């Protein structure tokens, strides 16, 4: 009896395991209303560069920033002819996490604004970081870590990565908090990252099954309204903690994403095709130039040397190969059928677009 139960459990696990692996947590499918990051930006100066900074004469904003900074420190050099290349004007960006308190440290990114060649070895001076409302929410300062480098000689140069971009780990200190009281709220909205009617309904059903009521309701494909039940009176945080780990099988629109610039093709699992025949042939046109020099006979008085053009053109067009892709196949079978054509990614993009134009591709095509 125990052996039978074990076999039945194993069989059921084998049948249910694909769905289980496809499920995702609600916290990975939706965001909580009001719980979000805020973008910060600031303008500052990086000093201590080894001759790779801005050319002061070519970047007036760097010169004015340097002059203003020194004037605040009691040094007046406005009438002097500055010619330093150890300083660079930079833009500093950071993301202020939700519920960040005063004194919290956040990472910052530093990017050269002028014609600096590298920020390696530089130190960012005190830089206020502003929000969209113009208020200062953090202050950044510290040594800039640069992963890229550049080296140049008289006849050659080498560049690895982007030496004009850097990062300062924990380089900014939060000075102002963004107030948001979520604990006392009577309801919150869950914003789906990929709006879909079916996914929203499944999220609401999973929450109601967990809470034993109708606390969750679907407002639109991208929003699920969560009302706080009596069991969680005055504690919305505990309610969110109880439901964000629930697992839901998301459903998405069948889509083929194409990046024509790089030739990358990404297809979802729900992409299907009707039975279609595909003929693909490559046309190659080659043109070669082999100019020849025509010279006059020896001791000729009136002859002259001329270049005679000689062009050779050829056309290679192999016979077209027709392949049939059966209808209703799954993604793996569709990929195998396209691979059997033996075409490069550029041609495969054209084939997918032609299949869509023929009405045989049951999916949306999004070209980046």
CATH 3.30.70 fits 181-248, yes or no: yes
Could you give the maximum distance between any two Cα atoms of the chain, in Å? 115
- In angstroms, the CA 55 to CA 14 distance is 67
Q: Residue 116: enclosing H or E segment and its boundaries?
A: none
- Separation CA 117–CA 121 (nearest Å): 12
Dihedral (Cα; 125, 130, 135, 138), 10-degree rounding: -60
Pairing of strands 364-367, 255-259: parallel
Name, in order, each residue with C-beta under 8 angstroms of 56's C-beta and a sequence gap of 6 or more. 62, 63, 66, 82, 83, 84, 85, 87
Residue whose token pair is 């996914």: 199
Render each residue's pLDDT in the chain as its tens digit; 368 residues.
444 444 444 444 444 444 444 688 998 999 888 888 899 999 999 999 988 888 888 888 888 888 888 888 888 877 677 778 899 999 999 999 988 899 999 999 999 998 888 899 899 999 999 999 999 999 999 999 998 766 666 667 777 778 899 999 999 999 998 877 787 788 889 999 988 899 999 999 999 998 888 889 999 999 999 998 888 877 888 888 888 899 998 888 888 888 877 778 888 777 877 777 766 665 455 556 677 777 777 766 666 777 777 766 665 555 555 556 566 666 666 666 667 766 677 777 787 788 788 777 778 888 87
Whole-angstrom Cα distance, residue 192 to residue 251?
Answer: 12
Distance CA 73, CA 65 (A): 13
Question: Can you give the C-alpha Rg of the chain in angstroms?
Answer: 32
**4-12 long-range Cβ contacts below 8 angstroms, 24+ apart:** none
How do the domains of the chain map onto residue ranges? 38-174, 181-248, 255-297+304-367
Q: In the structure encoding, which two tokens stand for residue 78, read together? A: 């406005």
């Amino acid at each position: 009896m125990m052996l039978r139960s074990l076999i039945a459990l194993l069989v059921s696990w084998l049948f249910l395991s694909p769905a289980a692996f496809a499920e995702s947590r609600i916290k990975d499918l939706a965001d909580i209303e009001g719980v979000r990051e805020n973008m910060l930006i600031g303008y500052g100066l990086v000093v201590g560069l080894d001759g790779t900074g801005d050319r002061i004469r070519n970047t007036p904003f760097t010169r004015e920033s340097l002059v203003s900074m020194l004037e605040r420190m009691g040094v007046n050099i406005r009438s002097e002819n500055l010619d330093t290349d150890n300083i660079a004007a930079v833009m500093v960006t950071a993301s202020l996490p939700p519920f960040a308190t005063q004194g919290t440290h956040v990472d910052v990114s530093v990017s050269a604004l002028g014609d600096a060649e590298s920020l390696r070895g530089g130190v960012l001076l005190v830089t206020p970081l502003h929000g969209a409302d113009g208020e200062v929410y953090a202050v950044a300062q510290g040594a800039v870590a640069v992963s890229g480098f550049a080296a140049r000689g008289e006849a050659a140069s080498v560049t690895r990565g982007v030496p004009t971009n850097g990062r300062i780990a924990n380089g900014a200190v939060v000075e102002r908090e963004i107030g948001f009281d979520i604990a006392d709220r009577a309801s919150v909205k869950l914003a789906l990252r990929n709006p879909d009617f079916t996914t929203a309904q499944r999220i609401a059903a999973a929450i109601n099954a967990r809470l034993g009521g109708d606390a969750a309701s679907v407002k639109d494909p991208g929003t699920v309204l969560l009302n706080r039940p009596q069991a969680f009176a005055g504690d919305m945080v505990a309610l969110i903690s109880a439901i964000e780990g629930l697992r839901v099988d998301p459903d998405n629109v069948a889509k083929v994403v194409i990046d024509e610039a790089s030739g990358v093709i990404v297809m979802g699992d729900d992409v299907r095709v009707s039975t279609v025949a595909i003929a693909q042939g490559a046309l190659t046109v080659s043109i070669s130039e082999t100019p020849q020099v025509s010279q006059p006979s020896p001791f000729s008085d009136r002859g002259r040397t001329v270049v005679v053009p000689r062009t050779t053109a050829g056309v290679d067009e192999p016979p077209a190969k027709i392949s049939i892709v059966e209808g209703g196949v799954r993604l793996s079978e569709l990929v195998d059928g396209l691979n059997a054509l033996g075409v490069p990614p550029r041609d495969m993009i054209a084939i997918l677009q032609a299949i869509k134009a023929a009405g045989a591709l049951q999916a949306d095509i999004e070209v980046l």
